[in-house]
Amino acid sequence: MNKTIDSLPETDKLLYRVEDAARLLDISVPTLYRLMAAGELPYTKLNRRIRRIRYQDLIAFVNRNTYGA
Walking along the chain (69 residues) 10 residues at a time, the average pLDDT comes out as 54 89 96 97 95 95 86
pLDDT of residue 12: 72
**Burial letters 28-66, b for 16+ CB under 10 A, else e:** eeeebeebbeeeebebeeeeeeebbbbbebbeebeeeee
pLDDT of residue 49: 92
Residue ranges of domains in the chain: 15-64
pLDDT of residue 67: 87
Q: Specify the pTM.
A: 0.79
